[in-house]
Amino acid sequence: MLSALARPAGAALRRSFSTSAQEMPVFPLKYHNQKNNAKVAVLGASGGIGQPLSLLLKNSPLVSRLTLYDIAHTPGVAADLSHIETRAKVKGYLGPDQLPDCLKGCDVVVIPAGVPRKPGMTRDDLFNTNATIVATLAAACAQHCPEAMICIISNPVNSTIPITAEVFKKHGVYDPNKIFGVTTLDIVRANTFVAELKGLDPARVSVPVIGGHAGKTIIPLISQCTPKVDFPQDQLTALTGRIQEAGTEVVKAKAGAGSATLSMAYAGARFVFSLVDAMNGKEGVVECSFVKSQETECTYFSTPLLLGKKGLEKNLGIGKVSSFEEKMIAEAIPELKASIKKGEDFVKNMK
């Protein structure tokens, strides 16, 4: 079972996030004397995810400095966001020469840089382009903010996390507790779809999603859902398939214009806020994320994690699963292992 710690934290976080806009005016006062001074960088800030993610971060009282990096358009995005009446200082950085200054002093770096899928593509089809982008940006983080928490959104996450870890190892600054593959959108989707089927408020539903972030490696643990829900097997199979292919649902609907951006921005912001809350000393903050792991025979795996001041504090593990879920875990392992190896080999073969 997902730890009892997870449920109130997850629900409370989602509640506070969804009401933050209405409460905006009181935030700066309410949080004035607290440690809400996170310096956050977004790399790939001008993109479909990067822009709304930066907006949500700018809207948060947890963030005091927001540095935006991209190879295009960051001066405009930063100028635009900087007029919003929240205290986070926003600055744009354009091109590799300005990347070091964007990163220096950062507590958290979020990376949605890279190309998204088009209809007919798998996340692995993005490997050739995105592996180089992530490796380059990870190298800059290792050099200029080695202590920061690194949150990778760029796909294929099942390979870009091993890539980031290997790059940090090469620079001698690797801390497995600080490198996170952002899989939060899978949890957000699972909560929404379960709520729709059961007529519940999605903000009160909490489904852990484990494994990886591609097709069959996305494993929703409906048996651990809070509140407890039951589905006949045919409905459970269809629901699980919909969660696994929800990204493709958006890719198809966008018909060539990219993949999920707005829901991903929401999910990315939720993950960053959880992390910053935990870094600020809030207890019982739990999120699932694709991290270095000893929970299965895969060296990286997503499970619910207790977050703390220094990042991953405790891996809460897979917990009790149904036979249906156990079978999915077994089936996901070969694909996950191959994606992890592909990422590690990429860095080994880099000049």
Ligand X SMILES: NC(=O)c1ccc[n+]([C@@H]2O[C@H](COP(=O)([O-])OP(=O)(O)OC[C@H]3O[C@@H](n4cnc5c(N)ncnc54)[C@H](O)[C@@H]3O)[C@@H](O)[C@H]2O)c1
Q: In this chain, which stretch among 26-34, 133-141, 317-325, 327-335 interacts with ligand X, using CB under 6 A?
A: 133-141
Active-site residue, 213 included: yes
Report in angstroms how near the CB of residue 71 gets to ligand X at its nearest. 5
Helix, coil or strand: residue 45: coil
The answer to whether 287 contacts ligand X (rule: CB under 6 A) is: no
Name the amino acid, one letter, at 275: L
State yes or no: 46 annotated in a binding site. Answer: yes
Range 203-262, binding ligand X (CB under 6 A) = 213, 258-261
Q: Is 86 in the site for ligand X (CB under 6 A)?
A: no
How many alpha carbons lie under 13 Å from residue 18 in its C-beta half-sphere?
Answer: 11
CA angle 241, 242, 246 (to 5 degrees): 125
Q: Which of 133, 69, 65 is nearest to 97 (CA)?
A: 69
Per CB under 6 A, 343 contacts ligand X: no
Which backbone phi and psi does 91 adopt, to 5 degrees? -140, 140
* Tokens (6 digits) for 111: 């990376």
Q: Is 146 in the site for ligand X (CB under 6 A)?
A: no
The answer to whether residue 109 forms part of the interface with ligand X (CB under 6 A) is no
**Residue 329 found at the interface with ligand X (CB under 6 A):** no
Residue 123 labelled as part of a binding site = yes
Provide the 10 A C-beta neighbour count for residue 100.
13
State yes or no: residue 133 binds ligand X (CB under 6 A): yes
Q: Is 117 annotated as a binding residue?
A: yes
**Cα separation of 280 and 267, whole Å?**
20
Contact flag: residue 190 with ligand X (CB under 6 A): no
The secondary structure of residue 226, as a DSSP letter, is: B
Kindly state the smallest distance separating residue 74's Cβ from ligand X, in Å.
9
Please return the burial class of 56, using the count of CB atoms within 10 Å of its CB with bins 0-12, 13-18 and 19+.
Answer: buried
- List contacts with ligand X (CB under 6 A): 43-44, 46-50, 69-72, 112-117, 126, 130, 133, 136-137, 153-155, 157, 182, 185, 213, 258-261, 264
Q: Pick out the residues of the known binding site.
A: 44-50, 70, 117, 123, 130, 153-155, 189, 264
